């Protein structure tokens, strides 16, 4: 787990809400505090869709791309939100791809998820990585790989940060 401070908040927020940088992540939770609190649970309601729509969709979880336009409509304007909290999870297919490089160290069954927490409070923006394991392990290899993946993503997207 690492905590990264985003140095240029406005460009990061623009990328988060108007570009597809994080669109492939599963959205687990969203909280935006403006004139009121807006909360999205991240729960995907299959009952809302027809069988055909579900088959076409493939992924049966809520993606950031599903909610990004709604979230943007909540924050756009002249005022900065009081706070923002987003919890992303790497989708299972991408998690499996990442774990293939760690052959024999961990199984998908042992892993609860790879998480990315974005928090904006008191004028500061932080990204915190997290790995949830279903079994206890002293091996931090997966955590180190996940941290490196996120740092590389930020570098590729030219998002300046410093590690705290």
Check the CA dihedral 22-27-29-33 and report its sign: positive
Structure tokens at 46: 């299959």
Q: How confident is the model over 120-129, as a mean pLDDT? A: 96
pTM over 0.75: yes
**pLDDT at residue 106 in the model:** 72
Give the CA diameter of the chain: 51
Q: To which residue do tokens 């009952």 refer?
A: 47
**pLDDT at residue 77 in the model:** 79
104: pLDDT strictly greater than 70: no
Percent of the chain with pLDDT over 90: 64
Of 57, 65, 82, the closest CA to residue 27 belongs to 65
Of 5, 11, 41, 10, the closest CA to residue 26 belongs to 41
Better-scored residue on pLDDT, 30 or 59: 30
**What is the number of other CB atoms lying within 10 angstroms of the CB of residue 44?**
18
Q: How confident is the model over 57-69, as a mean pLDDT? A: 87
76: pLDDT strictly greater than 90: no
Q: Helix-strand-coil percent breakdown of the chain, rounded to 5?
A: 35, 30, 35
Contact 131, 5 (CB under 8 A): no
d(CA 65, CA 57): 12
Strand partners, 5: 126, 162
Contacts of 5 (CB under 8 A, 6+ apart): 124, 125, 126, 161, 162, 163, 164
Q: Where are the domains of the chain?
A: 3-163
132: pLDDT strictly greater than 70: yes
3-state DSSP of 73-138: HHHCCCCCCCEEEEEEECCHHHHHHHHHCCCCCCCHHHEEEEEEEEEEECCEEEEEEEEEECCCCC
């Amino acid at each position: 787990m690492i905590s990264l401070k985003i140095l240029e908040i406005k460009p990061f927020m623009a990328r988060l809400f108007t570009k597809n940088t994080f669109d492939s992540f599963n959205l687990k939770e969203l909280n935006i505090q403006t004139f009121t609190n807006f909360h999205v649970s991240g729960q995907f309601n299959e009952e809302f869709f027809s069988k055909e729509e579900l088959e076409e969709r493939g992924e049966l979880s809520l993606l950031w791309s599903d909610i990004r336009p709604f979230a943007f409509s909540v924050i756009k304007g002249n005022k900065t939100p009081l706070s923002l909290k987003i919890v992303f999870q790497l989708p299972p297919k991408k998690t499996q791809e990442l774990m293939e490089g760690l052959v024999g160290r961990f199984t998908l069954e042992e892993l609860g998820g790879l998480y990315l927490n974005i928090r904006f409070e008191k004028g500061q923006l932080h990204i915190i990585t997290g790995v949830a394991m279903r079994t206890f392990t002293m091996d931090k290899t997966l955590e180190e790989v996940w941290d490196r993946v996120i740092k590389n993503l930020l570098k590729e997207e030219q998002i300046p940060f410093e590690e705290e």
